[in-house]
Structures are given as C-alpha cells and as structure tokens.
Amino acid sequence: MILPKEISYEVKKESTKFQVFYFSFHGLGACPRALLCFGGEGIQWENKLTTMEKWPQDKTTTPTGYVPVLIETDLKTNTTIEIPESLAMERYLAAKFGLLGDNAREQTLNDIFYAQAVMLNTKFVDKVFWTFEEVRVKSLNQLLESTLPDWVKLCEKHLMENGNTGHFVDNKFTLADIKTAVVLDTFLGLDSEKVLGPISSPGLWKLKETVDTHPVYAAWRKSEEYKIFDSETQASVGTLMSFNLSKSHIFT
Amino acid sequence: MILPKEISYEVKKESTKFQVFYFSFHGLGACPRALLCFGGEGIQWENKLTTMEKWPQDKTTTPTGYVPVLIETDLKTNTTIEIPESLAMERYLAAKFGLLGDNAREQTLNDIFYAQAVMLNTKFVDKVFWTFEEVRVKSLNQLLESTLPDWVKLCEKHLMENGNTGHFVDNKFTLADIKTAVVLDTFLGLDSEKVLGPISSPGLWKLKETVDTHPVYAAWRKSEEYKIFDSETQASVGTLMSFNLSKSHIFT
C-alpha cells in the first residue's frame, strides 16, 4: 500500500507505460483516461479491464480493494507503481502534466472548480445511482431541478468573468476543465436540456468544446474502445433512469 | 469571484487575520478551523458567524452563495481575499502551513487518505443527514455496517504499515491527518463503538490522539466557543438520529 520512494512527477514518455485498471464503462475511469490524453502525444497508456465475474479475484490484487487503480510501469526496469483512489490519481496525473495551475491563484481556482465538479458527480453517484429504489426519482428530480442549476449558475458566472475562454483558469487547461467536461457527459445524458445548452450555459458549452476537441482526447472519444464503454455505461445507467449518452457527443 | 493576483501561500503571521465565515456549529467549518490551529502559535484567526435568520441576506455577500468562506485580511492595507468551497480552502490553508507533503510520494499519500476522509464524510452528509426521511435509518445502517468498517480497515492497514506513528505520512502532520480526525468526531458521536475504539482501530485511535493533543488545537477544542459549536451540532444531528458528540472528546 505505501507508495514507493521512486514515485515522481517527472514525465518519461519513452520509458513509461500507464494503465487504468477499471471496468469497461466510463464511471470513475473516465477522468484518469481523459487526463492521460491531456499528457499529449507520445504518452503510452491502455486500459486494463476487469469484469463483474473476475472482480472478486481481481479485487484482491489492488492496493485498497477498489478500482480505478493507476498502474505506471517503468519499461526499462519493469517495475510498477500502483496508485489507488480516483481523486488522488487524478491529482497525480494532473501534477505530472502541468494541469494544477502555476501559482496560488491558479491552483486555488482549479481547486474550487475541480471540487465543484467532483461533488456534483458524487451527488449523482451517491444519491441517484447507488440509492434505494423508493427515493431514486425524487433524488433525480432534486438533482436536476436544484443542484444542477445552482452549479451551472456558479460556473457560468465565473466563466464569463474569465472572458469565456473555455477554461476556468485564464486561457489554460487545468484539471478543473477536464473533470468538468467528463462530468458533463453524464449530465448531458440525463433530461437536462432546460439547464445545459448553448444558450442557457454558453460558458460550459464553450468549455466542453474546448476540452472535447483537444486532438488526442478527441481521438480517444472516437475510438472503438470508447464506444464500447459508451454502450456499457448506457446499459448500466439507462436501466435505472431516463438516460441517453449519445447526447454527450456534441463536439466529438 | 475571480481571485486576486495577490493571493499567495506565504505566511505573514503579524500582518494577517483569518476569519472562517460559517454557522455556529461544526459541519464544514470544523476542518478549516482546525487547520488554522495547525498554522501554529501566532496565527490570528476568528469565527465570523451567520445564523439561519441572517443567512438569506449574508448569502448575497459571499463569492458563491455558500459557506464556509475563508476571509484573509491584510492588516496593513485592510484588503481582503475571500476563498469559497471548503475543499479549496482546506488545500489553500494546508499549502500555507506545509501540510500537503513535500514530494510526490508524500503528496499522493496525503491525497489518498484526504480523499478517503472527504468521501466518508460526504456519504454521511448526502446519504444520512440531507436525505429523505423514509430512507434515513436504512442509509445510516448501511454507513455504519459497511462503509465505515471498510474505511477503518483500509486506514488501519496503512497506518500499521506506516509504523503506527499517528500519521498517514511517515511521522509528519498532513491535511489527511487533520481531516480524518475532524471527520472522526462525527462518527464517534454515532453508534460506532463496534468499529471505532482503541482495540478495534488502534491506528486511528493513535492518529486521533496525535491530532487532538496538538497544543493550539487542543486549546481550541477546550474553548467556550467550541463548546457552543458542540451543543449546536448536537442539537442539529441529535434530532435526526442517535448521536452523542461528547463521545468525540476522548483526548481533548
């Protein structure tokens, strides 16, 4: 469990391979996968997939008993580092790829809007997806009619004050942008048209376009493996509520 | 909303006053208040309190419409910086006071166990406190019988591997320690005796002692204002479920 001393934020593209160990759907795997794309051309990464059938066995091989796990292999020495806990691995990858902001102001802005996106997504997962059947509809309505509009309003105010650049921090990519774009995929799939759209949320629309058209990320979103994750995510969420993930593919 | 350029992680004890703007209970104010104690002797801070009656008006004065807000005043120029979003202000204070770890390994370990504590607390708040009445008991039972024991097991494994130092990272204080100790106050107040105790969770017990006996924090926990926050927290949570916050005062 204790991380090795060798762990470092240095990026060695040629001699490093990353793996995201998770299921074959988006869920908590989506943001680490996106971040690996924002590492840019030449970052070597792949998905290592478990299944519901294999999970009881695979679980025992993980540092904490949970996925996602980020596995980083030094191809020269064939040693691996495993990082559990999605928020920790997201921050680790963001630190590696210069996506946390460069000074106290940028870092704090990134932290504010990263936390906002994390907590919005957590509310969906904890209160709507993994909840008791008798309150699912009420919880979903509360999320769509109160939590989501409040979050959109807060983001729009800041994004406009920041000049509608498509970014939360000046004109640069940060973890907050990428997490927000990933979380928006889920919310665009829900019945959110009144709140999310080019007229009602122009700042978030611009941010979504800016993130989703990043060349490496756009290529990942168009890949065959991504389409499989789309359809497994659609099946999993779509059995519980009105959900159409194809609505998230606006720009790529 | 956009933070001023002047925001910095530099600590100027003599010329800075911090305020935590929040209600007169613990809730999301507890961790920023604790962090200000871990800034050490000479950090000037106080609570700025709102009430349920004043909140509709006070809400309009905050950067995002939510509390807590950290207000940092430069006493020489009388200019203020306001930082919203509890996770962002916690990270900001931790950065100021050297509580985020000093290298990639320490920072990632801190991030893993900080995220674990944040998410455990969020599950209590979202699924048990702010939930629909008809599922509150079921949600609380799930939290106490499954979520809490899983978290304890994970922490204990790591804390023992780390030598039972009372810390998640080697022998030094980090944000993860402080957040965990604060979150434990809530869980100690619940019916958690089977899972939390000197025999069943010795690593967390040692951590709690290590954090709570820090001289400046211990003094805050014994203060009259802290006792008021205890009784308001007791009243708020105690009407909804079996809760006895006095059980959290083990070491101070």
Mean pLDDT, rounded, of chain A: 97
How far does the CA of residue A201 sit from the closest CA of chain B (Å)?
17
Domain end marker among A56, A79, A97:
A97
Q: Mark whether B54 and B177 lie in a shared domain.
A: no
Within a domain: A252: no
* CB pair distance less than 8 Å for B87 and A157: no
C-alpha–C-alpha distance, residues A99 and A83, integer Å: 18
How far does the CA of residue B66 sit from the closest CA of chain A (Å)?
10
Domain end marker among B78, B97, B116:
B97
Q: Which residues contact A85 (CB under 8 A, 6 or more apart)?
A: A64, A66, B111, B112, B115, B116
Closest-CA residue of B relative to A8 is: B104
Q: Which residues of B touch A109 (CB under 8 A)?
A: 2-3
Q: Mark whether B40 and B162 lie in a shared domain.
A: no
Q: Mark whether B230 and B109 lie in a shared domain.
A: yes
* CB pair distance less than 8 Å for A108 and B7: yes
Residue A2 pLDDT level (bands cut at 50, 70, 90): confident
The minimal CB distance from B126 to the residues A8, A123, A150 is found for A123
Within a domain: B91: yes
Question: Does residue A167 carry a pLDDT above 80?
Answer: yes
Within a domain: A9: no
How far does the CA of residue B223 sit from the closest CA of chain A (Å)?
31
* CB pair distance less than 8 Å for A132 and B139: yes
User: How are beta strands A69-74 and A79-84 bridged, if at all?
Assistant: antiparallel
Q: Mark whether A85 and A112 lie in a shared domain.
A: no
Within a domain: A4: no
Chain A contact present for B236, CB below 8 A: no
- The confidence score (pLDDT) of residue A6 equals 83
C-alpha–C-alpha distance, residues B40 and B36, integer Å: 7
Instruction: Give the CATH number for residue B205.
Output: 1.20.1050.10
Please state the domain count of chain A. Answer: 2
Distances (CA, A) of B213 to A206, A229, B241: 49, 49, 29
Instruction: Give the CATH number for residue A76.
Output: 3.40.30.10
Q: Mark whether A51 and A90 lie in a shared domain.
A: yes
Question: Does residue A1 carry a pLDDT above 80?
Answer: no
* CB pair distance less than 8 Å for B85 and A116: yes
Q: Mark whether A131 and A55 lie in a shared domain.
A: no
Within a domain: B2: no
C-alpha–C-alpha distance, residues A111 and A168, integer Å: 10
Q: Mark whether A24 and A39 lie in a shared domain.
A: yes
Cα angle A40, A44, A50 (rounded to 5 degrees) comes to: 120
Q: Which two tokens stand for residue B190?
A: 């619940």
Question: Does residue A56 carry a pLDDT above 80?
Answer: yes
pLDDT tens for residues A103-161? 999 999 999 999 999 999 999 999 999 999 999 999 999 999 999 999 999 999 999 99
Q: Which residues of B touch A115 (CB under 8 A)?
A: 85-88
Q: Which two tokens stand for residue A152?
A: 């959109």
The minimal CB distance from A134 to the residues B3, B122, B135 is found for B135
Q: Which residues of B touch A127 (CB under 8 A)?
A: 126-127, 131
Q: Mark whether A112 and A54 lie in a shared domain.
A: no
Domain end marker among A97, A113, A130:
A97
Distances (CA, A) of B53 to B49, B137, B230, B231: 12, 29, 20, 19
Q: Mark whether A179 and A77 lie in a shared domain.
A: no
Q: Mark whether A36 and A150 lie in a shared domain.
A: no
Closest-CA residue of B relative to A105 is: B7
Closest-CA residue of A relative to B110 is: A88
Within a domain: A6: no
Q: Which residues contact A227 (CB under 8 A, 6 or more apart)?
A: none
C-alpha–C-alpha distance, residues A212 and B144, integer Å: 40
Q: Mark whether A52 and A82 lie in a shared domain.
A: yes
- The confidence score (pLDDT) of residue A164 equals 98
Domain limits for position A88: 16-97
Instruction: Give all strands of the β-sheet with A79-84 in edge-to-edge order.
Output: A44-50, A16-23, A69-74, A79-84
Closest-CA residue of B relative to A96 is: B104
What is the arithmetic mean of pLDDT over A201-214?
98
How far does the CA of residue A72 sit from the closest CA of chain B (Å)?
14
| Helix boundaries (H) for chain B | 30-38, 55-59, 86-96, 104-123, 133-142, 148-161, 175-189, 202-212, 215-221, 224-238
| DSSP structure class, residue B95 | H
* CB pair distance less than 8 Å for B126 and A126: yes
* CB pair distance less than 8 Å for B105 and A135: no
Closest-CA residue of B relative to A132 is: B135
Residues 177-216 of A with CB under 8 A from B: none
- The confidence score (pLDDT) of residue A4 equals 87
The minimal CB distance from A87 to the residues B8, B92, B111 is found for B111
The percent of residues in chain A predicted with pLDDT above 90, rounded, is: 98
Within a domain: B1: no
Q: Mark whether A82 and A108 lie in a shared domain.
A: no
Within a domain: B7: no
Q: Please report, in tens digits, the pLDDT of each residue of chain B (252 residues total).
A: 679 888 999 999 999 999 999 999 999 999 999 999 999 999 999 999 999 999 999 999 999 999 999 999 999 999 999 999 999 999 999 999 999 999 999 999 999 999 999 999 999 999 999 999 999 999 999 999 999 999 999 999 999 999 999 999 999 999 999 999 999 999 999 999 999 999 999 999 999 999 999 999 999 999 999 999 999 999 999 999 999 999 999 999
Residues 115-174 of B with CB under 8 A from A: 115-116, 118-119, 122-123, 126-127, 131-132, 134-135, 138-139, 150, 154, 157-158, 161-162
